[in-house]
Structure 1
Amino acid sequence: MAIAVIRVSGSACLDVYRSLCPGKRIPKSRTVAVRSLYEPGKNANKESMLDSSALVLYFSAPKTVTGEDILELHVHGGPAIVKAVLGAVANCSDRATRTIRYAEPGEFTRRAFMNSRLDLTQVEALGDTLSADTEQQRRLSIRGTTGALAKQYEQWRQQLLYARGELEALIDFSEDQHFDESPAELCASVAAQAHLLRVALEVHSQNAVRGELLRHGISIALLGAPNAGKSSLLNRIIGREAAIVSQQAGTTRDIVEIGVDLGGYFCRFGDTAGLRQATTSAHESRQTPEVINEIEVEGMRRAKIRAAESDLVVVVLSFETNSEGHATLKLDSEVCAVARELIGTKDNIMVVINKSDLSSTNNENAIEAVQRELPGVDRASVHMISCMTAQQTPASGPSDPGGIQAFLQGLIGQFGRLTAALTPADASDPDVSIWQESLGASERHRVLLESCVGHLNAFVAEVEGARDDGGVSAVDEVAEADIVVAAEHLRGAAECLAKITGKGECGDVEEVLGVVFEKFCVGK
């Protein structure tokens, strides 16, 4: 490493500078100066010199990264020099008014938060930035660093506080003051605002779930019969032989999990056990003479669970050569039955037909057969591939041997749809950027947003009061609602939004900070 940067934050920065650079004037804030560094408390000579030419930068509070004075020492990066300078900085504590110590993980960012240089959403986004491995993770983390989410949450919080203030004014001064609206009209107006806000919060919560797919990875299950080519497909996707491939049925027993960056998306592929009719003895099925032992049965059970829990399922079918030497599409009853169940619960299903090298004439017929067997799977979600062709084609051959790349492009297209931001159907604001920003909301945000929605639901139920037998809201009875309790629900909703940005109750914020900062490195 050519250069090492040592950062000091706090009120003792100038004491550290004077100790390391005796007799030298303090650099102007935000300018670079070249200085020789010396051991504290010793004469400035060659014997006590730590670094002959270090770059020194001083940043005066409060407009700094931490909100405090900052001193940066850019020293030569040799291990001996770095160690000597770090030791010298620590020894400056004897001459400083305050103790100088090494920073704890995330302490610079913690101080930035405590001094209002960052809000909690920006702190979390910074953590995502530091841990981003893929292009989509990088883009997601940058969304949170702008502070747009925090501004939106604060706007909603202020809206709730204003509404709560109106209700409490109604409670305290209704007998002494004249209001433009009757109590019933005021409550109905606030309830209408709460409904609109509830819709926006629900969409934000749904987008937070989609953002988690980008942050933690999209789960994909490869589902199919034995020897359909699931393991071969996985190996072609990741570019190495990660899964064992064999002609023997039941080679894959447990789930093989592989993480890979695909088109900028982090994906978690699960190669599962082949599905076939589960029998425990040969005489139980004429179609399946092989005995399926308990281990393989357990593998198939886990395969079904993995598919049900996945964000996207790839059903792997294949052509097989019959006794007459003709290639026919194998539609295994067990695989198709499981696939139909999945189609009924999720719409993120893709189908690949492997071993297309065996048949070059009836591809469209095969695709139509798949759509008849699996209603709900559209034509664009069915791909013809040949893992054998892709494996055997030399690098100088066709650009997409075996159709693997076309399938991967279709897969990436599915990723884009899975992670696209949702917008409310009746969004009054034409600016859709805030819904894009909401993809950056974390799981912690989602939990608090749902809690906020719960408070708003309770508020609306409180002020709407009883309903008549016809199901029509009894507006005249709104005035009789317990406005005190209703206002308390608004306070709870506002508090949930405050907790997201770190403006909630002190004890809660300290607990959250402990979780957030423990993942940071010392340099942050």
Structure 2
Amino acid sequence: MRAVRPIYNRLQTARLLHPSSTRLFTASRCSVALQQRKWQTSAARSPANLHASTTQRAHHSNAFVKTSVNAGETTIYALSTAPGRAAIAVIRISGPACVEIYHRLCPSKPLPEPRLAALRTLTDPTQPPSADTILDSNALVLYFPSPRTATGEDILELHVHGGPAVVKAVLAALPCCPTSRGRIRYAEPGEFTRRAFLNGRLDLTQVEALGDTLSATTEQQRRLSVRGTTSALARRYETWRAQLLYARGELEALIDFSEDQHFDEAPDVLAASVAAQVSRLRKQLEAHRVNAVRGELLREGIDVALLGAPNAGKSSLLNRIVGREAAIVSHEAGTTRDVVEVGVDIGGWYCRLGDMAGLRKSAVAGVRDANGAVGNEAASGVVGAVEQEGIRRAKQRALESDVVIVMTSVESIVSGQSASLVVDPEVQETARECYENGAALLVVVNKIDKIPKGFEADTLVQPWKHAIQRKFPLDQEEQVFFVSCKEAFAPSSDTADPGNIQQFLKGLISVFARITSAIIPDLEDAAPDPSMWQESLGATERHRLLLEDCIFHLDSFLAEVQPSLEFPERSSEGDLDVVVAAESLRAAADCLAKITGKGQVGDVEEVLGVVFEK
């Protein structure tokens, strides 16, 4: 232990000890000598388990960043505003040659004060200044010196008139500016953001949120993207990664100093403490992964399927929701043969409504009027090959949807003297499969205008609600809505909500809010932090896949450690492989590092092309 004491003191001075423990941690900043001793100790047991230290990986990653930024000393430029005719167009230039480019374009004017706009005349840099060489006589120029800029480099912005000819002339003049600071070229897709990441101005999660901000079309997408532009999500990943490094350090201390026998705790007690930390962290990661799936619904849109029998009113309801004739409506059964999909913003949520072929068999099961009697009616018409294919596609689309709207209808019988609620057994069976597949269900009863006059609506509606709940796996009666697409098409002047369409849309929005709200895990030793889990909705599909890999490695660690905890008498026999357990924690921490772009060099190179080109 005397030989280890100097290393212990250096680690304590560097604050590499856990604040609530006196255990020795071999984290990423451990000395080279300590790392070499660990490799020598564990090489005989598992030669391929331990890789280069985190410090070495960080050194190589920093070298990669420096080389990428300064390679060729290139200066890039691009049109930052949308192409086409406009009042103003913004051209952004980033790189070491910004000042020289300015003096070539404005040879007789001093450089503007940093971050202050100045009115300048831009001239052709290849010819002497004259009236014939003016590119734009009234351009606003802004200069931003590094490193406090969007890219971390010098930035020059030219706000010129937005006419296509003016923009084309200025863009053509920029690469012709002679400079001593490398070449000037047009930026590649996402290159400004790439340089911001490489220069530490943005982390990878902020880059992805920036792409979402630019593509947001609905209010919920805007809120999600704005929440992700802060660095809170990256800090959360880094906090979890640090916890894994600390836990790994505790285990690796057993590898380094187990022969000295100077630990305050037995190995099985130490392993139990680490396992408890990892188990708690796993719960948080699992909730984060589930919330990432919910966040994808906000980002990519919610798939909604209209499921029902022929002539139940699916196409009519679709047309009422989108406000136009998006689908053909006809009294002929089987009019819709293929899936008609329409994207629409409903209450701030983007969703894709799918109108599909009606499902039907040889008979339909009905729920009678106020008495609730059930009967059968023969289905009319023959289902041909084309309609059969349409029914197959309808079922497939419904099973892939996030929300399924089951359409039923009211049919009048006995010359309008009574009414029956018709539910096709094929629709009922498919709806149950969708529910078991994870979809949220709503039931819409259409054609309530067919209820005969003189009937009290409540005497029919309430028994129908109970019958629908028996037939469909609904959580509550509020998921059943009675509408009339016919009345909504020709509203009367004294009706605030013709056909009850608005009431149905409010119920649909409440379902959207429920399936996209953040899940807060039940942690025994900490109060829930709602803001923390709201941030997790900003996690992307890439984050989710890496989180799944991280959870897999944590499960591998727990599978290695927990058997020794259940049978502590075996731990002395060497059943607990500390090297394998520590390697699982290393792999889990690397997964979190890949999310923020702080992984190994190869990891960074793999994700950059995918992320920035968006």
- Could you say which residue in structure 2 is the equivalent of 1:437? 535
Unaligned segments of structure 2, at least 5 residues = 1-85, 364-375
Distance 1:336 1:76 in 2: 61
- Could you say which residue in structure 1 is the equivalent of 2:450? 358
One-letter code aligned to 2:598 = K
Match of 1:226 among 280, 286, 310: 310
2:401–2:439 Cα contact (<8 Å) kept = no
One-letter code aligned to 1:365 = P
Structure 1 pair 261–179 and aligned structure 2 pair: CA distance change class (3 A): same
Distance 1:244 1:384 in 2: 22
- Say which SS state the counterpart of residue 314 (structure 1) adopts: strand
2:268–2:564 Cα contact (<8 Å) kept = no
- Could you say which residue in structure 1 is the equivalent of 2:514? 417
1:60 aligned to 2:145? yes
Shift of 1:286: 8.8
- Could you say which residue in structure 1 is the equivalent of 2:258? 174
Distance 2:202 2:88 in 1: 28
1:157–1:494 Cα contact (<8 Å) kept = yes
- Say which SS state the counterpart of residue 399 (structure 1) adopts: coil
1:188 aligned to 2:272? yes
2:520–2:528 Cα contact (<8 Å) kept = no
Moved more, 286-295 or 152-161: 286-295
Moved more, 504-513 or 116-125: 504-513
1:27 aligned to 2:119? no
Structure 1 pair 41–194 and aligned structure 2 pair: CA distance change class (3 A): same
Distance 2:99 2:429 in 1: 73
1:485 aligned to 2:580? yes
TM-score with structure 1 setting the length? 0.92
- Say which SS state the counterpart of residue 184 (structure 2) adopts: coil
Distance 2:409 2:245 in 1: 61
1:298 aligned to 2:389? yes
Distance 2:436 2:222 in 1: 34
One-letter code aligned to 2:512 = F
One-letter code aligned to 2:290 = Q
Alpha-carbon displacement from aligned partner over 1:310-354 (angstroms, at most 9, x marks no partner): 111111111101134222211223322333444445461111110
Shift of 1:478: 4.3
- Could you say which residue in structure 2 is the equivalent of 1:3? 88
1:475 aligned to 2:568? yes
- Say which SS state the counterpart of residue 72 (structure 1) adopts: strand
Shift of 1:179: 2.3
1:161 aligned to 2:254? no
1:464–1:478 Cα contact (<8 Å) kept = no
Structure 1 pair 476–147 and aligned structure 2 pair: CA distance change class (3 A): farther
Shift of 1:86: 1.6
1:464–1:475 Cα contact (<8 Å) kept = no
Shift of 1:158: 1.0
Distance 1:436 1:59 in 2: 35
- Could you say which residue in structure 2 is the equivalent of 1:236? 320
Distance 2:538 2:293 in 1: 10
2:481–2:504 Cα contact (<8 Å) kept = yes
Distance 2:430 2:528 in 1: 42
1:465 aligned to 2:563? yes
1:188–1:478 Cα contact (<8 Å) kept = no
- Could you say which residue in structure 2 is the equivalent of 1:495? 590
- Say which SS state the counterpart of residue 89 (structure 2) adopts: strand
Shift of 1:178: 2.1
Sequence identity of aligned pairs in percent? 61
* Deviation >6 Å, runs of 4+: none
- Say which SS state the counterpart of residue 465 (structure 1) adopts: helix
Match of 2:607 among 490, 508, 512: 512
- Could you say which residue in structure 2 is the equivalent of 1:95? 179
Distance 2:133 2:388 in 1: 73
One-letter code aligned to 2:548 = E
Distance 2:138 2:475 in 1: 68
Matches within 5 A, 1:228-377: 228-277=312-361, 287-325=378-416, 326-346=418-438, 348-359=440-451, 361=456, 362-374=460-472, 376-377=474-475
1:350–1:377 Cα contact (<8 Å) kept = no
2:404–2:439 Cα contact (<8 Å) kept = no
Distance 1:513 1:227 in 2: 51
One-letter code aligned to 2:395 = K
Alpha-carbon displacement from aligned partner over 1:288-327 (angstroms, at most 9, x marks no partner): 3522112222222222222222111111111101134222
- Could you say which residue in structure 2 is the equivalent of 1:408? 505
Shift of 1:251: 1.2
Alpha-carbon displacement from aligned partner over 1:366-424 (angstroms, at most 9, x marks no partner): 22322233354521000110000000126x55221000010000000000000000011
Shift of 1:515: 1.2
Say which structure, 1 or 2, has more relative contact order (CA 8 Å, 6+ apart): 1
Distance 1:336 1:169 in 2: 60
Structure 1 pair 44–411 and aligned structure 2 pair: CA distance change class (3 A): same
Distance 2:104 2:435 in 1: 71
1:73 aligned to 2:158? yes
One-letter code aligned to 2:182 = R
- Could you say which residue in structure 2 is the equivalent of 1:282? none
2:293–2:541 Cα contact (<8 Å) kept = yes
Moved more, 154-163 or 81-90: 81-90
Distance 2:166 2:133 in 1: 12
Distance 2:471 2:215 in 1: 43
Shift of 1:41: 4.4
Shift of 1:476: 4.1
- Could you say which residue in structure 2 is the equivalent of 1:470? none
Match of 1:144 among 214, 223, 228: 228
TM-score with structure 2 setting the length? 0.79
Distance 2:223 2:209 in 1: 11
Shift of 1:104: 1.0
- Could you say which residue in structure 2 is the equivalent of 1:522? none
- Could you say which residue in structure 1 is the equivalent of 2:477? 379
Structure 1 pair 182–232 and aligned structure 2 pair: CA distance change class (3 A): same
- Could you say which residue in structure 1 is the equivalent of 2:204? 120
Distance 2:415 2:428 in 1: 25
Shift of 1:56: 1.5
- Say which SS state the counterpart of residue 414 (structure 2) adopts: coil
Match of 1:449 among 547, 550, 563: 547
Matches within 5 A, 1:42-57: 42-57=127-142
Size of the aligned set, in residue pairs, is 507
Shift of 1:159: 1.1
1:37–1:49 Cα contact (<8 Å) kept = yes
- Say which SS state the counterpart of residue 101 (structure 1) adopts: strand
- Say which SS state the counterpart of residue 186 (structure 2) adopts: coil
